Chains A and B, each alone.
Chain A
Amino acid sequence: MINIVYRLKSPKFFEESIDEVELDGVVVRPTYLSICQADQRYYQGSRPAEVLEEKLPMALIHEGIGEVIYDKTGEFEAGDNVVMIPNTPMGEDVCRANYSYKSKFRGSGFDGFTSDLIKLDSSRVVKIPDDFDPKVSAFIELITVAYQGISKFSELAITPKDALGVWGDGNLGFITALLLKNRFPQSKIIVFGKHLENLNLFSFADEIHQIHNVPDDLVIDHGFECVGSSASQSAIEQIIDLINPQGTINLFGVSEYPIPVNTRMVLEKGLTLQGNSRSEREDFVGVVETLKQNPQLFEYLEKLVTNICEINTLSDLKEAFDKDYISHFGKTILKWNK
């Protein structure tokens, strides 16, 4: 079948292109998509020139839901609402598929979701209930990243989980803190951020602190870094200062630059650093189940929806990216009508 794909040709320039796909998987029509920082870095051209040269043209966006329109395998029915999994394993590996070099990832190496139709293997599609808010569901993928990090953390941590510190008052910090509160209701969730107006939205957290104004006696058992970029350095530094011995530091923030870490104190306190990136099918299934069991989470997650843009043309798509770029908090949701 012929498919029309909307690719980023060069920074800030989208174009239509034509692709031919076999009808051997699940064909999904995208409905609601969500812009991620990684998409924005391609769009703005802030990735290194050699990366842009290698990866573009490419359709952006790896967060999104859609409607099944055709499934030859019969596993799904036309009209089913589904969340799409961007990670695509290309072979067996000894590690989780989201860390495997054998996996491909949509919107980073192969086409993302901005197209008329998307063909996926049936294992890359998870059904969501019809009553899920589509605007929140659009960024389930981001929620799965926090979910998989927290799942790994709960297996790794050997010391008490009484006080869990989350650094970062952006989208991922919000989601990570919310999921931690939901999973460990007895733990004290303490959020550290720079912007008080953002921190005030974390009403479910037990404590919020601005990073320059932390009480002297405050300690945490485990830390979650959701800051990213060069600011990761000061966040990791503060976590190492405040964390109890043998705690874990769970890293989520992406940085284009190498980040120096005070290894002397890591050694002294016997800390464990765990990296987190992307997610896999079990995380999507887990998040969908968590949202089903805890519908009140939608009420909090809705706060992250700050821009809703209807996309009828490629100019609309450009406008949405520009709008997202100047937003300080929240997610830009694309109601896909192209």
Chain B
Amino acid sequence: MIFAAILAGGIGSRMGGTDTPKQFLTLGNKPVIIHTIEKFVINENIDKIIVLIPKNFINHTNNLINDYIGENDDIIVIEGGETRNDTIMNSIKYIEDNFGIDDESIIITHDSVRPFVTHRIIRDNIDAARKYGACDTVIPATDTIVESVNGETIESIPVRDYYYQGQTPQSFNIKKLFNLINSLTEAETNILTDACKIFTLKDEDVHLVEGEVTNIKITYPYDLKLANTILEDGND
């Protein structure tokens, strides 16, 4: 089976100035998270869409889905976790309890605040996760990357050609991901902010999928303003 996990566990502490988590703010004429879910709803290859959300927003999310998408048995809203990896783990546990985990099943994990993801990116993620077991969506870095450990002086300037900016989706063979997560030590778990890092830490290959410059993450108020502006421009 193919599962999508829409990660909306966070409460958007970087958004500022609003109590509403960023995934529920309006982009065009719908909440950001609805735009994101729609991209997965229209993809017939995906069997179930698991939306992971802070506990006190589960009912609200279900109401929004009913209002904008309509009743859909393939969308399941459950509680996310403390960290990104906890949230992913919750989705895997849900899959294990309700569908079982076989050798072939894959999971496409995607930020709820990246509504501009394309059908092509999702398709390439499915293909790469099936073929290689793990993939990450990236675009080549355009700015020069500067490394500074103390935050005051430059340690090094790596060759830009070798650097990419990570986007989502990140997609995995579920069984492989599950086994790797369970093999982590506590020290390893504490430093992991990214699911793909679990694979690289264990010397497992993660294949690159080409992202899009438009596949931006709505993190700051500026991003939402920018996203709304380009959407209005495109609709003219």
A78 CB, nearest partner CB in chain B, Å? 4
Contact code string A237-261 (vs B, CB < 8 Å = 1, else 0): 0000000000000000000000000
Given A2-B39, A16-B214, A27-B42, A69–B116 Cβ distance below 8 Å?
Answer: no
Chain B residue with the shortest CB-CB distance to A115? B118
Interchain CB contact (< 8 A) of A23 among B42, B43, B212: B42
Q: Is A1 an interface residue (CB 8 A)?
A: yes
Contact code string A159-191 (vs B, CB < 8 Å = 1, else 0): 000000000000000000000000000000000
Q: Which residues of B contact A4 (CB under 8 A)?
A: 116, 118, 212, 214
- Give the CA-CA distance A70 to B230 in the complex, in Å: 25
Q: Which residues of B contact A19 (CB under 8 A)?
A: 231, 234-235
Q: Is B156 an interface residue (CB 8 A)?
A: no
**Do B44 and A18 touch (CB < 8 A)?**
no
Contact code string A50-71 (vs B, CB < 8 Å = 1, else 0): 0000000000000000000110
**Do A337 and B120 touch (CB < 8 A)?**
yes
Residues of B in contact, count (CB < 8 Å): 26
Q: Which residues of A contact B115 (CB under 8 A)?
A: 2
Residues of chain A from 1 to 26 with CB closer than 8 A to chain B in the complex: 1-2, 4-5, 16-20, 23
Contact code string B140-179 (vs A, CB < 8 Å = 1, else 0): 0000000000000000000000000000000000000000
Residues of chain B from 166 to 218 with CB closer than 8 A to chain A in the complex: 210, 212-214
Q: Is A84 an interface residue (CB 8 A)?
A: no
**Do A18 and B116 touch (CB < 8 A)?**
yes
Q: Which residues of A contact B123 (CB under 8 A)?
A: 29
- Give the CA-CA distance A5 to B234 in the complex, in Å: 8
Chain A residue with the shortest CB-CB distance to B116? A2
**Do A20 and B42 touch (CB < 8 A)?**
no
Q: Which residues of B contact A16 (CB under 8 A)?
A: 212-214
Q: Which residues of A contact B235 (CB under 8 A)?
A: 19-20
* Main SS at interface, chain A: strand
- Give the CA-CA distance A279 to B27 in the complex, in Å: 37
Q: Is B29 an interface residue (CB 8 A)?
A: yes
- Give the CA-CA distance A70 to B233 in the complex, in Å: 26
Interchain CB contact (< 8 A) of B28 among A2, A5, A17, A29: A2
Chain A residue with the shortest CB-CB distance to B28? A20
Residues of chain B from 1 to 56 with CB closer than 8 A to chain A in the complex: 27-29, 35, 38-39, 41-44
Q: Is A116 an interface residue (CB 8 A)?
A: yes
- Give the CA-CA distance A116 to B116 in the complex, in Å: 11
A5 CB, nearest partner CB in chain B, Å? 7
Q: Is A338 an interface residue (CB 8 A)?
A: yes
**Do A117 and B233 touch (CB < 8 A)?**
no
Q: Which residues of B contact A78 (CB under 8 A)?
A: 44
A120 CB, nearest partner CB in chain B, Å? 14
**Do B39 and A1 touch (CB < 8 A)?**
yes
- Give the CA-CA distance A23 to B37 in the complex, in Å: 13
- Give the CA-CA distance A19 to B232 in the complex, in Å: 8
**Do A18 and B234 touch (CB < 8 A)?**
yes
Q: Is A44 an interface residue (CB 8 A)?
A: no
Contact code string A279-317 (vs B, CB < 8 Å = 1, else 0): 000000000000000000000000000000000100000
- Give the CA-CA distance A37 to B217 in the complex, in Å: 39
Q: Which residues of B contact A2 (CB under 8 A)?
A: 27-28, 35, 38-39, 115-116, 231
- Give the CA-CA distance A4 to B44 in the complex, in Å: 19
Q: Which residues of A contact B120 (CB under 8 A)?
A: 29, 116, 337-338
Q: Is B119 an interface residue (CB 8 A)?
A: yes
Q: Which residues of A contact B42 (CB under 8 A)?
A: 1, 23, 27, 69-70, 117
- Give the CA-CA distance A116 to B234 in the complex, in Å: 14
- Give the CA-CA distance A53 to B165 in the complex, in Å: 36
Chain A residue with the shortest CB-CB distance to B39? A1
A336 CB, nearest partner CB in chain B, Å? 9
**Do A69 and B230 touch (CB < 8 A)?**
no
- Give the CA-CA distance A69 to B212 in the complex, in Å: 20
Given A20-B235, A116-B120, A1–B38 Cβ distance below 8 Å?
Answer: yes
Q: Could you name 7 residue pairs across A and B whose Cβ atoms are closer than 8 Å?
A: A1-B42, A2-B231, A4-B116, A17-B230, A20-B235, A23-B42, A29-B123
- Report the 8 A-B pairs with minimum CB-CB distance, sorted nearest first: A78-B44, A70-B42, A17-B234, A116-B118, A18-B234, A1-B38, A19-B234, A20-B28
Q: Which residues of B contact A (CB under 8 A)?
A: 27-29, 35, 38-39, 41-44, 115-116, 118-120, 123, 210, 212-214, 227, 230-231, 233-235
New contact pairs (5) apart from A2-B38, A18-B227, CB-CB < 8 Å: A2-B116, A16-B214, A116-B120, A117-B119, A337-B120
